[in-house]
Amino acid sequence: MATSSPVSTGGLHWRDAASGESRLPEELTSDSDLRLLLELHAQADCLVTHGGYVRAIAQKRLDDILQVGTVPGHQDLASWRQAHGLPPQPAICIASASLDFTLPDSTGRYQQQVFIATGSQSDAARRRQLEREGREVVIAGAGAYVEGRPLVDALAQKGFRSAFLLAGPRMLETMLRDAVLSRLYVTVTHRLLGGESFHSMIEGPQLQAAGRLKLATLYLDFASSNGTGQFFAPVRAAATASVCKRSRP
């Protein structure tokens, strides 16, 4: 059986107190940070995202980056996938407890394999509706929410070796608690922010030993497009034994 090795990016987001929606502060974004994210995406067999991101695409609050090589200035990443024997586009896994979303049209245009992961206690009627629409639904958790180990096992059964998590704090938490996260990629911008309503890169009770990380490499970007420097730090989860490696684009 293939081994699926999830990697993730993490970050701080502002929270709108009225709507409950969150967004990445513009002060923390840069061209190089986007490039690094897209390079990680390009290496994945499967992109794991969540219902909130898919809803944000439909509402035009966030850009659709579910495909490789479609962002202007980064089309070379599609050629990199081809040169390394990967399918033109990664598969898409949408993790959702509510199952309240509409798939972006782009997944059909690019003929991507799409499946939906949810917990066994999610809405059974909604699961059946999705299956009648031809969607594959995978149970990956004992409650309503997706859990790390069952999801990774499901990805491995499908033959995926590398998964990129474009998801939120809850997904990162369960991957760490279940000791199935290979690497976490963190960008630290050299800038101080104010504000009172925000959420960090992880939620839930204290992680204890599951939260121990080991620095793999540290890069310094002196001339980021946002006017400040930044660190780019791939770190390994101390409790995870194996890491899937591919050469960088």
> What is the domain partition of the chain in residue ranges?
5-237
Q: Which two tokens stand for residue 28?
A: 């923390």
Report the mean per-residue pLDDT for the chain.
Answer: 86
Whole-number pLDDT of residue 194: 75
Whole-number pLDDT of residue 8: 60
Q: How far is CA 60 from CA 13, 68, 139, in A?
A: 18, 19, 29
For residue 105, pLDDT beyond 90: yes
* Class level of CATH domain 5-237: alpha beta
Residue given tokens 């917990």 in the structure block? 119
pLDDT tens, position by position, 143-182: 999 999 999 999 999 999 999 999 888 999 999 999 999 9
Do the Cβ atoms of 47 and 202 come closer than 8 Å? no
pLDDT band with cut points at 50, 70 and 90 for residue 39: very high
Whole-number pLDDT of residue 245: 42
Whole-number pLDDT of residue 179: 92
For residue 98, pLDDT beyond 90: yes
Show Cβ contacts of residue 236 under 8 Å, excluding neighbours closer than 6 positions. 182, 183, 184, 213, 214, 216, 243
Whole-number pLDDT of residue 5: 57
For residue 82, pLDDT beyond 70: yes
Whole-number pLDDT of residue 87: 96
pLDDT tens, position by position, 168-218: 889 999 999 999 999 999 888 888 877 676 667 787 788 888 889 999 999
Average pLDDT over residues 4-17: 58
For residue 83, pLDDT beyond 70: yes
Whole-number pLDDT of residue 62: 85
Whole-number pLDDT of residue 187: 85
Q: Which two tokens stand for residue 226?
A: 């946002």
Pairwise CA distance, residues 203 & 168, whole Å: 9
Pairwise CA distance, residues 62 & 64, whole Å: 7
